[in-house]
Amino acid sequence: MRAGLARRMPVAMVAILAAANAALTTGLVYASLRGRPTLVVPGVQRAEVTIPSHVPDEAVRHFSLLYLLYFDDYSPATAVDRANYLLRLVSADRVDTARRALEERATYIVRARESSQLSPPLPESVQVERLEDGRCRVGLTALRRTLIADVPKELLNVRYVVEVAPTVPSATNPFGLVVTGQAIDSRLVAESEAKEDKRGR
């Protein structure tokens, strides 16, 4: 009896190992074919990321505010650097057009010694409209104060509309978002009106 049991044990062990190997192989094949869900968080760069189908509204708001602060908050000393940084945040098909416009604007700012101070709303007040293909239209109103050589020039109530699209993060743009279009509408406001607006924020 012992001899028969000894003969059966190696056979049983081989069968168990074969079954375990088959189960492990099946699990590895399933895991490799299933894929992994990936979330791109703007501002954080990771390896092997994919474009998300839905970027959170909060991320879109913060990206848009950052873009507009670089666009309309400047001084003669910062205009060129901010213009160069903005080129990282626009879509590839707009880079050449944006570069020419930003270079002309920076040249004017330096020559005229113009400064601009932007007072944006709180992020939760920024409007986000969902479009097709993961794109968004962002709308907000902000106060913009301009100065010439530290002398107040004008106070503007500016309405910004920015179109944003998801993209793959890179070393130059780790946000996973780019600006594909923008529109600006402004009007002069009185100092008293500006104070009332600030109190209402």
The string of pLDDT tens digits covering residues 34-78 is: 555 444 555 444 444 444 556 889 999 999 999 999 999 999 999
Q: Are residues 137 and 62 in the same domain?
A: yes
Sign of CA dihedral 28, 29, 34, 39: positive
Q: Are residues 131 and 189 in the same domain?
A: yes
- Is the model's pLDDT at 163 over the cut of 50? yes
Buried b (16+ CB within 10 A) or exposed e, 70-85: bbbbbbeeebbebbeb
90 is a domain residue = yes
- Is the model's pLDDT at 121 over the cut of 90? yes
* Containing structural domain, residue 11: 1-35
Q: Are residues 69 and 3 in the same domain?
A: no
Q: What is the mean pLDDT of the chain?
A: 82
Residue 196: predicted pLDDT: 56
Residue 201: predicted pLDDT: 52
41 is a domain residue = no
Determine the residue type at 19. A
Q: Are residues 96 and 1 in the same domain?
A: no
**Structural domains counted in the chain:** 2
| CB-based contact 176:55 (threshold 8 Å) | yes
Q: Are residues 61 and 159 in the same domain?
A: yes
43 is a domain residue = no
Q: Are residues 155 and 194 in the same domain?
A: yes
Residue 200: predicted pLDDT: 52
Residue 171: predicted pLDDT: 84
Q: Are residues 84 and 115 in the same domain?
A: yes
Q: Are residues 29 and 61 in the same domain?
A: no
94 is a domain residue = yes
- Is the model's pLDDT at 154 over the cut of 60? yes
Q: In terms of pLDDT, which residue wins out, 117 or 191?
A: 117
> Average of pLDDT values for 72-94?
96
Which domain CATH number covers 161?
3.10.450.230
Q: Are residues 81 and 172 in the same domain?
A: yes
Q: Are residues 75 and 19 in the same domain?
A: no
- Rounded to 10 degrees, the C-alpha dihedral 153/159/164/170 comes to 20
Tell me the per-residue pLDDT of 92-111, one tens digit each, with 9 for 90 and over: 999 999 999 999 999 999 99
Q: Are residues 99 and 156 in the same domain?
A: yes
The pTM of this model reads 0.70
